[in-house]
Amino acid sequence: MMSEENKEENYLIRNLETGFLEIHTGKEAYFKLPARHKRLLKYKLRWSNPSNCWISKSDFDLCKTVIERFTKIGFKDQGFKGKRIPFEKKIMQRLNKNILIAAKYDIKEKKCRDNHVVHLRRAERIRQVLKTETDRFNKLDLKARIKLAEDKAAVALDKATDAAAQALEFRQKSLVLELNLSNPKYLKNQLYQKSSNPVSVKYSGKISIEDYLPFTDNIAAERLLVAGRFRTFQEQTQFYKNRLRIIGSSLDDGLSTFYGKPVFMSKRWAEDGIGRVVGHQQEQGTLVLKLNNGNYIEKELNRLTVLAPTHDILNTLLSKDGTINESAKAAGLKALSMIKKDNLLEAMHHIQKAGLSKLCMVTCDQYLERQKELKKSLKRSPILKR
């Protein structure tokens, strides 16, 4: 058991905003913990410097063993804190968090690269002094200082490279999450998982929360926990359905869907092989293109190439068949971020340089067929009718 004077600083609490269990303990009390409790802390939780406490790696409703063991040795259970955050808001927070972390790593990268340049310049200045130095001992000292400056420059460059890699990783996380939310295949899969979720199966058709609450001593805490879990399930289901409906209503079967988009063609028709769609002929099934030299031409759909729908590109990049290496995948994800910013031409060039043209680009008629199939599948989807 913990001593009386340490009881006040030793407590655990469930954070409704994050969904995690927090264990607060002082440094002195931590060292007095039994060895098995320390092992449990390191296995099930992680230390958070900003929060100054131990935070569970999984949801707090999966930490019953941790709660039981620590309450037995004197930790006070303070129940719940904060307010439950709606699912859609959580998604936006996750997106913003990844973007903010990437921005922090960008700042760190710039600072490290600046330090790299400073150390290299210092080494160069010392090298100039060394050319005119005649004293043997001074030369040895200057050479040592050059070596030290070069070592510091190398360390700064390594740190900058690591920071750039971290920034790219968090940008990719944010990008993949955002693109998944516009990917019908991903959304349908999420809805299917929610429909077979034990929470929905067990509690479907129940009139009130009290009908399915287990009997426990702390009935108020259980009610809050189960009600929150069921509400989250309902919010997730509705969120994914709404996203699918938005995608279905935004699909256009007509040729006007290509307006303003750059397309690739044979260099026999355009010097750089690029044109921008400015109109179409519905009866002939052709697109009117403006070339970079100011001329206009009219071409059939099967002779023009565009980027595949973003969800198709994402599925291709994330496939696990081993056909795409990591560098090509990184280039593809970078191209997707450019598509999101409407830099389609630059995205096309990245796709081509990465050797992904056959996988990530389609003819205009193939693009329209995919859009039509997608719209039909969304209309007849039984998931949306529930």
Can you tell me the distance from the alpha carbon of 160 to that of 338, in angstroms, rounded to the nearest whole number? 24
Structure tokens at 299: 């071409």
Residues 47/54, Cβ–Cβ less than 8 Å: yes
Structure tokens at 235: 């919010």
pLDDT more than 70, % of the chain? 82
Name the average pLDDT for the chain: 79
pLDDT value at 109 more than 70: yes
pLDDT band at 367 (very low <50, low <70, confident <90, very high): confident
Predicted confidence (pLDDT) per residue in 3-22, tens digit: 444 445 789 998 888 888 99
Report pLDDT for 119.
94
Report pLDDT for 151.
94
Predicted confidence (pLDDT) per residue in 227-273, tens digit: 667 777 788 888 888 887 776 665 555 666 777 778 888 878 887 78
Report pLDDT for 282.
66
CA proximity to 9, closest of 103, 72, 78: 78
Predicted confidence (pLDDT) per residue in 209-232, tens digit: 444 444 444 555 556 666 667 777
pLDDT more than 90, % of the chain? 15
Residues 269/295, Cβ–Cβ less than 8 Å: no
Can you tell me the distance from the alpha carbon of 231 to that of 209, in angstroms, rounded to the nearest whole number? 11
What's CA 33's distance to the chain center, in Å?
A: 37
pLDDT value at 346 more than 90: no
pLDDT value at 66 more than 50: yes
Report pLDDT for 305.
85
Report pLDDT for 197.
59
pLDDT value at 190 more than 90: no
Q: Is beta strand 286-291 parallel, antiparallel or unpaired with respect to 20-24?
A: unpaired
Can you tell me the distance from the alpha carbon of 309 to that of 47, in angstroms, rounded to the nearest whole number? 42
Which range has the worst mean pLDDT, 8-12, 45-49, 321-325, 380-384? 380-384
Report pLDDT for 175.
75
